[in-house]
Amino acid sequence: QGATSHSPGVVPQPSVPRLTARMPRLAARAAHLTFAHSWMSARHDSHAMHPPALHVQKILPPPQSSVLVRRGEWEAAQTVSELGIYGTLLRRGSGAGAELLLNKEVGHLVRTKAITSNEGGVAAGFAVLDSPYLV
């Protein structure tokens, strides 16, 4: 699907209050966010547990004028940026009785690509690494 038409951002449902409360508001330059919220729902019988459910809603920001630099060459383009938040989860045991040992945000990655690109790989040359502009 082409990335030529963009609508203003959308608030993801369900919301992720812990993440959004701790993260400063991002400028439109790094506003191509994808939030995910997952949870386990355990059945109360001895047979099985439902697999994790992952709900994702993409936020489509307006395009931004940017200069992309690849291999020392620059190019002016209309772009969108994608922000990835990385986390670590460590627990002991499984199911409802599992002990949570660690649940922490551990980093981020911003990549910027032309709005005409359906790909997003930095190594493949479709996107460039970027930095968030925090306001």
Identify which has the larger pLDDT, 25 or 111.
111
In the chain, count H helices and then E strands. Answer: 1, 6
Residues 6+ apart with CB under 8 A from 26: 33, 83, 132, 133, 134, 135
Whether residue 90 is predicted with pLDDT greater than 70 in this model: the reply is yes
pTM metric for this prediction: 0.49
Q: How many domains does the chain have?
A: 1
Within-domain flag for 135: no
Would residue 62 count as lying in a domain?
yes
C-alpha span between 42 and 65 (Å, rounded): 47
> What is the average pLDDT score of the chain?
68
pLDDT: which is higher, 133 or 36:
133
In the predicted model, is pLDDT for residue 6 greater than 70? Answer: no
Q: What is the rounded CA–CA span in Å between residue 86 and residue 108?
A: 6
Give per-residue burial for 48-72: e unless 16+ CB within 10 Å, then b: eeeeeeeeeeebbbebbebebeeee
pLDDT digits (tens, 9 = 90+) for 11-62: 333 333 333 333 333 333 333 333 333 333 333 344 455 556 666 777 777 8
Q: Give the range of the structural domain holding residue 60, as residue numbers without chain letter.
A: 17-130
Is residue 28 in a domain?
yes
More confident residue, 56 or 1: 56
The percent of residues above 90 in pLDDT, for the chain, comes to: 19
Q: Is residue 11 part of a domain?
A: no
